[in-house]
Amino acid sequence: MNITLEQLKSLLNWYAVYQRELPWRNTKNPYDVWLSEIMLQQTRVEAVKEKFKEFKNTLPTITALANTDEDTLRYLWNGLGYYNRCNNLHKCAIVLKNNYNSTLPSTRKELLSLPGIGPYTSGAIASIAFNQPCPAVDGNVLRILARLFNDPSDIKDEKTKKKYEHILETAYVSYKDDLLQHNPNAFRDVSQAFMDLGATVCIPNGQPHCKHCCFQKDCLSHINNTTDTIPFKSKNKKRRIEDRTILLIHDQNYAYIQKRPAKGLLASLYEFVNFDHHASKEEVQQFMQDHHFTITSITKIKDAKHIFSHIEWHMVAYDIEVSQIHLLTHDGKSLDLKEFQEWPMPSAFSIYKTYLCKRLKPIE
Ligand code: SF4
């Protein structure tokens, strides 16, 4: 298996005509490339577009990102999920500020040593920001190459990823001069070309649009009519089910939330008080009494489910109105309607946040 110079040239030619307009394109600013690549991990392009602009407007430089506080960061990241990425982004900016004069290094080796930057992101930054002959193997590349070679290997297997990385790296290095002569931005463009071809032509769900593909003539999966079965992807392991009871503690005007522990799932984010099992109304009442709240009303409301990558939360919830809120932990917060609406919370709690926003009365 190998990719030819002609195939890489046709991919570059296709990209020159059909590339997508995206807010982080047409810039060689490594910060933009890094930020967009981190935001795009497991998140749709459409969801990232506005968040990227807002993030850049508020924190236009690596120094500004390094100096920002946790709450601003959570606010800017709100809605993108996978908050670990945002914690690592911040940690990485601090390292860049302290050790790299607030710039990103250009070699893959140095990039790989930074927090939150793995093989894919290092390849994407080195190629897109610095025009280095480095592969950036994401789901798009895996799908396109598996089809191009009609390769039945499991694309979730690390070995497949490594194999394609090696194939691309070998090709980029061997054809470096020819590719740069063909297009001085060859390596900057080739990584983005794979992304765009994967997003618009060799798509992840549904039939690929082979008629419009630059690889149509020599794509073995297209020729052998196997695009329904290739790429092969083994099934996910079964998710662990966790039961939760969510307590929506509020008075007429204020909602109560608290900070999660600094380590583990949704680390340092805000949540409603909750138990790690399904609790009865009596148990919830007892908890409230033990914590010196005077309950005005308590109602069991709609159950909900939230799916994380390896865990599923099955939630039951209680609407608990109290005569007056007090804080249960030193980092607990009592927020009025406006503050509560704006306060970033993980999407696992979205359904209950929306519910509670309708229950709270605005302060006159
Ligand atoms: Fe994908 Fe079809 Fe192009 Fe092959 S020819 S890479 S299957 S879109």
Phi-psi region of 251 (alpha: psi -120 to 50; beta: other; left: phi over 0): beta
User: How much is the pLDDT for 123?
Assistant: 97
C-alpha–C-alpha distance, residues 51 and 74, integer Å: 12
Atom of ligand 1 nearest to the CA of 213: 3
Q: Which residues line ligand 1 (CB under 6 A)?
A: 144, 147-148, 201-202, 208, 210, 213, 215-216, 219, 221-222, 227
Tokens at 6, concatenated: 């002609």
Neighbours of 218 (CB within 10 A): 12
Work out whether the CA dihedral 1, 131, 44, 240 comes out positive or negative: positive
Q: Which of 194, 222, 226, 232 to mutate to test the pocket of ligand 1 (most atoms within 8 A of CB)?
A: 222
- What count of residues does the chain have? 364
User: How much is the pLDDT for 324?
Assistant: 93
Distance 189 CA to ligand 1 centre (A): 19
Burial of 18 (0-12, 13-18, 19+ CB in 10 A): middle
C-alpha–C-alpha distance, residues 34 and 17, integer Å: 25
Distance 118 CA to ligand 1 centre (A): 27
User: How much is the pLDDT for 236?
Assistant: 79
Q: Where are the beta strands (DSSP E) in 184-310?
A: 240-250, 254-259, 270-271, 273-275, 295-307
Atom of ligand 1 nearest to the CA of 208: 8
User: How much is the pLDDT for 164?
Assistant: 98
Task: State the catalytic residue, choosing from 37, 46, 242, 312.
Answer: 37
User: How much is the pLDDT for 78?
Assistant: 85
Atom of ligand 1 nearest to the CA of 219: 4
User: How much is the pLDDT for 200?
Assistant: 96
Distance 144 CA to ligand 1 centre (A): 7
Tokens at 162, concatenated: 């490594």
Work out whether the CA dihedral 266, 268, 272, 273 comes out positive or negative: positive
User: How much is the pLDDT for 150?
Assistant: 97
Q: Report pLDDT digits (tens) over 329-352.
A: 888 999 999 999 989 899 899 999
User: How much is the pLDDT for 67?
Assistant: 97
Distance 23 CA to ligand 1 centre (A): 27
37 is catalytic: yes
> Which residue ranges in the chain fall short of pLDDT 70?
none
Query: Which residue's alpha carbon is nearest to atom 4 within ligand 1?
Result: 219
pTM for this predicted structure:
0.81
Query: Which residue's alpha carbon is nearest to atom 1 within ligand 1?
Result: 202
Q: Which of 10, 18, 144 to mutate to test the pocket of ligand 1 (most atoms within 8 A of CB)?
A: 144
Distance 231 CA to ligand 1 centre (A): 11
Peptide bond into 152 cis (omega under 30): no
